[in-house]
């Protein structure tokens, strides 16, 4: 405004100067034509400069008094907290409701507090004809956000008041609750792997389509894992592998019931894509002899597999009265192997589990004479005595302290009820978590830097939108008096516009 005021004074002086020339000309009784003949070349330069000056002054006057004029925006439209007529429909870009407090300044930026949680619209209604299929970039600027902001009912700005930024990548940022931050973090090549490596059990909300798959698991190698225990009924394994996956196992039928003793083996990846499916037939001794049949040796080999988590399921024959076959001596060329869900070891078995939050391990035997003691070591030592009183009753061992737990089962012939176990600590890994569908007290938030930029008190959001006649973009804050509006801007990207006559 100071520059504009100076230009106006200068313009007034020029007008006075020209008026003096004309008046002097009239006194000397010389015509303007005669005076022009007397002008030298430098006089023409001065006149040209005056013309340029008038043009500049005129532009500034039009730009300030009529911000939506055709020569002012060139496809750019903006409404700012510093504007007086924010809700005027005479503007090409305006807000349809006055939900704002008075103008103030924050970090030298004009701002108005949003004093109502009532939604309002950014309305684009230009005084030009905008062609169909026009695209634009919508830019929104806020200050001191302490609440969530929604654009067309979609969350675009989270409330990060109790979060701390712990890692930044080229296109993402990782924010974590203040109570969960640690001194040292494992490094990763992207936000998803970073969250998996450092916060594997915490809830996650992501603005970038968090898949929860294919993490980079530390300590992985292709050393062989051997599960010698004999298992009856269904068995499900999770294996982390890359390249070639080799699985060797022995099938041995119990032959306790009439019917085919079959197992179906399927291998799928974490994204549920099937890589292998085969039925392993009966040993052809399908009478109820009660004597275990001959051992059958099988091998599966899959090549050129991408790094991933693969589920290997051994599913019993569903037509048999009870599970009448077993799987044992399983060998897998990966050191990262989990047993998922319930399992039924038919012989002695040792296993490990890790506790980060309280959980329960269950045991149950149903066969008389299979009373046994289970030794628990690790973070807490205990002996679980499954005596005669526990026949056909489920025993539950609560694990409340964080740390490592080891269990030694002497006889087997009992169910183990668990979410995930491994043979030892080296074989343990966490299964990836899926992202929360809604931001409800999530522990970790992944920000999309390509859309949301956070710079101290200043927060700006941008998104590519389609423009139609009278386009409206609904904005709503979750809490009133918790955030300041800065400005809104629309930049036409591809358009063909004609001024309305």
Domain ranges of the chain: 2-65, 76-211+441-499, 225-427
E strand or H helix at 34, and its extent? Answer: helix 32-38
E strand or H helix at 176, and its extent? Answer: strand 172-177
Average pLDDT score over the chain: 86
Residue count of the chain: 501
Residue 351 token pair: 């296993």
Is residue 441 helix, strand or coil?
Answer: coil
**Per-residue pLDDT reduced to its tens digit, 210-226:** 766 677 888 999 999 99
Q: Are strands 109-114 and 100-106 parallel, antiparallel or unpaired?
A: antiparallel
pLDDT at 501: 35
Residue 162 token pair: 């109790």
Cα–Cα distance measured from residue 8 to residue 3, given in angstroms and rounded to the nearest whole number: 9
pLDDT at 63: 44
pLDDT at 218: 87
CB atoms within 10 A of CB 5: 9
Residue 230 token pair: 């004999």
pLDDT at 5: 45
On the CB side of 52, CA atoms within 13 Å amount to 6
**Per-residue pLDDT reduced to its tens digit, 146-181:** 999 999 999 999 999 999 999 999 999 999 999 999
pLDDT at 130: 78
- Which position has the higher pLDDT, 55 or 285? 285
Is the distance from CB of 80 to CB of 496 less than 8 angstroms?
A: no
Radius of gyration of the chain (CA): 38
Sign of the Cα torsion 31, 33, 37, 42 reads positive
pLDDT of residue 8 exceeding 60, the answer is no
Mean pLDDT across the stretch 103-116? 94
Is residue 451 helix, strand or coil?
Answer: coil
Query: DSSP labels for 114-164?
Result: E---S-EEEEE--SEEEPTTEEEEEEEEEES--S-EEETTEEEE---TTEE
pLDDT at 263: 93
Closest CA to 492 of 136, 140, 138: 136
CB atoms within 10 A of CB 9: 9
- Which position has the higher pLDDT, 439 or 20? 439
Is the distance from CB of 452 to CB of 259 less than 8 angstroms?
A: no
pLDDT at 3: 40
Residue with structure tokens 């019917």? 259
Closest CA to 489 of 466, 469, 468, 461: 461
pLDDT at 179: 95
pLDDT of residue 470 exceeding 90, the answer is no
Its pTM stands at 0.74
Structure letter (DSSP) for residue 426: G
The three state secondary structure string of 203-224 is CEEECCCCCCCCCCCCCCCCCC
In our burial notation (b when 16+ CB lie closer than 10 A, e otherwise), range 37-61 reads eeeeeeeeeeeeebeeeeeebeeee
- Which position has the higher pLDDT, 279 or 6? 279
Residue 427: left if φ>0, alpha if ψ -120 to 50, beta else—which one?
alpha
Question: Which region among 45-54, 297-306, 392-401 has the lowest average model confidence (pLDDT)?
Answer: 45-54
Cα–Cα distance measured from residue 317 to residue 332, given in angstroms and rounded to the nearest whole number: 23
Is residue 323 helix, strand or coil?
Answer: coil
Structure letter (DSSP) for residue 388: G
Mean pLDDT across the stretch 92-104? 94
Question: What residues have CB less than 8 Å from 231, skipping those under 6 apart?
Answer: 314, 326, 327, 328, 343, 344, 345, 346
């Amino acid at each position: 405004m100071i520059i504009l005021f100076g230009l106006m004074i200068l313009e007034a002086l020029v007008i006075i100067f020209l008026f003096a020339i004309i008046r002097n000309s009239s006194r000397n009784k010389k015509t303007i034509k005669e005076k022009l003949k007397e002008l030298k070349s430098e006089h023409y330069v001065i006149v040209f400069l005056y013309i340029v000056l008038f043009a500049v002054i005129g532009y500034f006057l039009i730009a300030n008094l009529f911000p939506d004029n055709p020569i002012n925006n060139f496809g750019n439209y903006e409404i700012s907290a510093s504007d007086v007529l924010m809700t005027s429909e005479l503007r090409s870009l305006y807000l349809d409701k006055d939900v704002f407090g008075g103008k103030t300044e924050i970090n030298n930026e004009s701002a108005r507090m949003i004093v109502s949680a009532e939604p309002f619209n950014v309305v684009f209604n230009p005084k030009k004809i905008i062609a169909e299929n026009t695209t634009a970039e919508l830019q929104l600027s806020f200050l001191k956000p302490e609440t969530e902001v929604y654009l067309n009912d979609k969350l675009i700005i989270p409330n990060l008041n109790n979060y701390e930024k712990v890692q930044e990548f080229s296109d993402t940022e990782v924010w974590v609750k203040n109570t969960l931050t640690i001194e040292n973090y494992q490094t990763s090549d992207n936000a998803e792997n970073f969250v998996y490596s450092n916060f594997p059990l915490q809830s996650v909300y992501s603005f970038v389509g968090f898949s929860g798959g294919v993490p980079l698991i530390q300590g992985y190698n292709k050393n062989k894992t051997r599960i010698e225990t004999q298992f009856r009924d269904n068995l499900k394994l999770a294996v982390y592998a890359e390249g070639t996956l080799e699985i060797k196992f022995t099938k041995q039928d119990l032959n306790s019931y009439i019917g085919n003793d079959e197992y179906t083996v399927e291998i799928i990846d974490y994204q549920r894509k099937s890589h292998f499916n085969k039925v392993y037939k009966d040993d052809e001794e399908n009478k109820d002899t009660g004597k275990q049949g001959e051992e059958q040796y099988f091998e599966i080999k899959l090549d050129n597999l991408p790094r991933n988590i693969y589920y290997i399921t051994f599913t019993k024959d569903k037509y048999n009265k009870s599970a009448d076959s077993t799987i044992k001596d399983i060998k897998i060329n990966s050191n990262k192997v989990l047993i998922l869900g319930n399992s039924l070891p038919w012989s002695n078995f040792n296993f490990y589990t890790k506790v980060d939050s309280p959980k329960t391990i269950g045991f149950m035997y149903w066969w008389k004479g299979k009373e046994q003691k289970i030794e628990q070591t690790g973070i807490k030592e205990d002996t679980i005595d499954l005596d005669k009183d526990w026949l056909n009753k489920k025993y539950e061992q609560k694990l409340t302290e964080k740390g490592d737990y080891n269990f030694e089962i002497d006889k087997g012939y009992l169910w183990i009820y668990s979410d995930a176990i491994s043979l030892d600590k080296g074989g343990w890994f966490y299964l990836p978590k899926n992202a929360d569908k809604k931001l409800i007290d999530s522990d970790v938030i992944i920000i999309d830097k390509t859309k949301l930029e956070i710079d101290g008190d200043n927060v700006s959001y941008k998104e590519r939108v389609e423009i139609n006649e009278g386009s409206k973009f609904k904005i709503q804050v979750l809490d009133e008096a918790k955030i300041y509006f800065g400005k809104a801007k629309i930049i036409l990207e591809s358009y063909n516009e004609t001024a309305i006559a």
